[in-house]
Structure 1
Amino acid sequence: MAGGRAPRVLVLLCILHLHCLQGFKILTVCLAGGSHYLLMDDVSRIFVENGHDVRMFQQIGKGSIPGYKLTSTPYPVTTYTLDEKLLKEYDDMFEQSQKEFFMGNAAISSYFTLMDLLAEQCQATMNQTEIFDFLKKEKFDIVILEAFNPCTFFVAEKLGVPYIALFSGSFFNFMSVGLPSPPSYVPMFPTGHTDRMNFLERVKNTFMYLGSYVMDKIIESIFSRVSEAHFPADSKTSLGELYQKAELWLYNVDFSIEFARPLLPHVQCIGGLRAKPAKPVSKDLEDFIAESGDSGFILVALGSMISSIPITDVLREMNSAFASVPQKVIWRYKASQWPEDLKLASNVKLMDWVNQNDLLGHPKMRLMVSHGGLNGLMEAIYHGVPVLGIPLFGDHSDNLARIKARFMGDYIPPYEIKSDNFGGAIRRITQNKR
């Protein structure tokens, strides 16, 4: 019997090998903008470079990246644009949320409001019959979806194709995925704790663990209307069930900053996809950096979605702090939105968009001022650049707590920024040889 089984296994391996040589048909799904899109673009390009046939289904018109110019892609893209009403609802919500973030008033209710808007947008997305008919005819082997927007799971389910979930944040959806997370040493989102908690911190952590269950159930109920409206009675499914159906969960985290925690075989960490060897910067940037001498320069990048700071007092304090340090400062900030009555520090250069990775790899790079998004932190770690964080929302505080615990930098909440403490933090970090 063993002898009869071996040839069958060999034939199967040969067929699989032949299929791999021909490449798979892969659909990547991205219904979010900003860094979520940039990460999925990298993933799509990686599979194209490895000989696979890739198409992206992308929702555009919301969460676009201020200052970023879309480049041509080596893969075809099927796009869908939301109507003006849904776009305006999202833009108004995000504009108001930005002000709340910088004032330190971000609340969990803002996250539920976002999920409610995404569920409403999902209803419109699922009604795109022509797009779904076209994608079904393509007969994809696998779907790789960007899992921050839960609607991507319903898209894959409607197509009837197996899927892999790529989560661009940390493990705060652990309960939906079924990941064991002992609250005694695994810090919960969004406590900002490390894995070295005292008794009271563990008590708080346990309550947050229980809160994660409630949070998941609320989001599941928000998206239940999508299943009710777009799936037959005999095939209705919940968001929790769709999370469990993923063939593989990929997380944009890396062992260099993540604390020890239990993982399962279908969970893999792939942090650092956007970090790569730096290319030379443009001549005007090189000339500006050269003026810094040995002091070098600082990069300020508060996320792909934040083109300006909506609170003038915070902007004024940061600008004053930059004026007090010897480094040059390259600040990703939309110049047209700079207040007319605020004189820009002489050592600061504003840019609508920057190639963050290339600047981080420059030999005169001294410090990155970051909001704490994982893509930027991974690039800073790759290039060995210390970080001064300004956590705004989501997992930023947790990410920066890990950076501080690893002695890779420090952070200051935006509502606590003053010229003296912000400038002092810059000098403390840039002068610390460690």
Structure 2
Amino acid sequence: MPIMDTDQSDKTGVKLTKNVIKVGIDPRVEEMMKKKGELFSKAWAMEPSFYRMMQMAGNMTMGFAYQCQKVFNDDVLMKRLEEEHFDVGIAEPMGTCGFGLFKLLNIRATMAAVSTVHMDTVSAAIGEPVPPCYVPGVMSTVGDRMNILEKLKNIVGQFLGALFFRGVFDKETLELLAETSYVFTNSNPYLDYPRPMLHKTVPIGGIAVSTEPGKNKLSAKWDAILSERNRTVLVSFGSQAKAIYMPHQYM
């Protein structure tokens, strides 16, 4: 588990796994994270344009690359991982470090887990079509019902996105993605836009939600908050748009 944000170092997100190997933060990433308040604040105020989204994605990609170098340069860690003889490797495609690591450790069965709904580059790598006439690109600001101008913008956006990620997904990385057994996406087929999908693409959005009432019991803190009113709507903006950095005029 590479640590990129020291404030989140204790949040592993796992319950059953006990053997969690943590890799300390790279000095260059640590320097970048000193300005995280400024960076995350921009997520709220930036214009909803493709260029702005690409600019923010570029900063994230640079941080992933620095942290990846730290992982591969740790000989003790590499030897320890090699001795584990893993059967399956699961990694996030946005930071391609994991798939290179699987190749180095000779882990043949691999899976991709996308934290967003879909990634155009991943879809293209596995041979999954992304028709721009009715499938909005990953950085698109429109839905699936587009006029002629919006369709043109969507085509340009998909092209520029592929051009941008060419610096992240080189030919070898795309081949590694194509070899994955499954691609899990954080998408709910009942809520997402209709799109063609291969059988290896598995939407698992909401898989952690239990239908058993006993498992959905709230903590005392949240029970008190939600009991203050007859109706309460809880909104989460995701990990990249932290409410703590929300401008005061939005509150």
Structure 1 and Structure 2 fold alike (TM over 0.5): yes
1:98 aligned residue:
40
1:249 aligned residue:
183
Cα separation, partners in 2 of 1:184 and 1:160, compared to 1, 3 Å: same
Figure out how many residues of one structure are paired with residues of the other and give that number: 240
Q: Distance in 2 between matches of 1:186 and 1:246?
A: 23
Cα separation, partners in 2 of 1:209 and 1:287, compared to 1, 3 Å: closer
Identify the match of residue 219 of structure 1 among 136, 154, 168: 168
1:59 aligned residue:
2
Identify the match of residue 117 of structure 2 among 156, 167, 170: 170
SS of residue paired to 2:194: coil
Runs of 4+ in 1 over 4 A off after TM superposition: 66-72
Q: Distance in 2 between matches of 1:100 and 1:206?
A: 26
SS of residue paired to 2:167: helix
1:201 aligned residue:
150
Structure 2 contact 29–63 (Cα < 8 Å) conserved: no
Cα separation, partners in 2 of 1:177 and 1:96, compared to 1, 3 Å: farther
Q: Distance in 2 between matches of 1:248 and 1:69?
A: 23
1:80 aligned residue:
23
User: Which shifted more, 109-118 or 280-289?
Assistant: 280-289
The alpha-carbon deviation at position 70 of structure 1 amounts to 7.1
| Greater relative contact order, per chain length (Cα 8 Å cut-off, separation 6+) | 2
**Letter aligned with residue 217 of structure 1:** R
The alpha-carbon deviation at position 92 of structure 1 amounts to 3.2
Question: Are 1:238 and 2:175 counterparts?
Answer: no
The alpha-carbon deviation at position 180 of structure 1 amounts to 0.7
Normalised to the residue count of structure 2, the TM-score between the two structures is 0.82
Q: Distance in 2 between matches of 1:96 and 1:90?
A: 10
SS of residue paired to 1:60: coil
Render the CA deviation track for 1:167-222: whole Å, top value 9, x for unaligned.
Answer: 1112223233332111121111222322222222211122122223212213236x
**Letter aligned with residue 245 of structure 1:** E
Q: Which has the larger radius of gyration?
A: 1
Name the one with the larger strand percent. Answer: 1
Question: Are 1:121 and 2:49 counterparts?
Answer: no
Render the CA deviation track for 1:277-330: whole Å, top value 9, x for unaligned.
Answer: 4533234543454442xx32232433346261253333xxx2xxxxxxxxxxxx
Cα separation, partners in 2 of 1:59 and 1:67, compared to 1, 3 Å: closer
Question: Are 1:150 and 2:96 counterparts?
Answer: yes
**Letter aligned with residue 148 of structure 1:** M
Question: Are 1:282 and 2:215 counterparts?
Answer: no
Q: Distance in 2 between matches of 1:191 and 1:63?
A: 31
SS of residue paired to 2:101: helix
Cα separation, partners in 2 of 1:129 and 1:307, compared to 1, 3 Å: farther
Cα separation, partners in 2 of 1:288 and 1:141, compared to 1, 3 Å: closer
SS of residue paired to 1:268: strand
Structure 2 contact 135–194 (Cα < 8 Å) conserved: yes
**Letter aligned with residue 281 of structure 1:** L
Normalised to the residue count of structure 1, the TM-score between the two structures is 0.50
Q: Distance in 2 between matches of 1:257 and 1:198?
A: 22
| Sequence identity (%) | 21
**Letter aligned with residue 171 of structure 1:** H
Q: Which runs of 5+ in 1 are unaligned?
A: 1-57, 222-236, 319-434
**Letter aligned with residue 101 of structure 1:** A
Render the CA deviation track for 1:50-98: whole Å, top value 9, x for unaligned.
Answer: xxxxxxxx11352643996977644421221124x23423313532221
